[in-house]
Amino acid sequence: MSIRIHGRCIAEYWRALLRLAPGFALLLLFWSAGELISRRVGLPVPGSVLGMALLAAALRLRVVPLRMVEPAAALLIRRMALFFVPPGVAILLYLDVLRSEWLALLLATVVGTVGVLLTVGLLQKRLDGHD
């Protein structure tokens, strides 16, 4: 008789874990590389962003096959809502700051959002060859 959790055999959990391990290892590797480069070079870009840019380049150049990171990335995306809990708690802790600085925060949010939308739109247009 095998040990079961929620109706599933323990071996199924191990198989799932082993299927996800290479993807998580690659995500951690690229994140670490981005952190290292950002800190050593002193870039004003967060290491996590640089690491994901490196991963995107590796995927685009087919240095890393998508099938290696897709299961781990899909799991993280499915559980993404959990990553918003700590910032939500932080907002509650800093309500007084939000009340006193709401205009500056609103302005920064609008300008940042418009900037990102324009940058992404222009970059996509350029990549699609619609100069």
To the nearest whole number, what is the mean pLDDT of the chain? 90
Q: Where are the beta strands (DSSP E) in the chain?
A: 4-5, 8-9
How many Å apart are CA 14 and CA 97, to the nearest integer? 46
Bridge partners, 5 (sequence order):
8
Confidence grade of residue 54 (pLDDT, cut at 50, 70, 90): very high
Cβ–Cβ < 8 Å for 50, 43: yes
129: left (phi over 0), alpha (psi -120 to 50) or beta: left
pLDDT digits (tens, 9 = 90+) for 79-115: 998 888 988 898 899 999 989 999 999 999 999 999 9
Cβ–Cβ < 8 Å for 43, 37: yes
pTM value is: 0.63
Confidence grade of residue 10 (pLDDT, cut at 50, 70, 90): confident
Structure tokens at 69: 């990171």
Cβ–Cβ < 8 Å for 55, 64: yes
Strands 4-5 and 8-9, sheet pairing: antiparallel
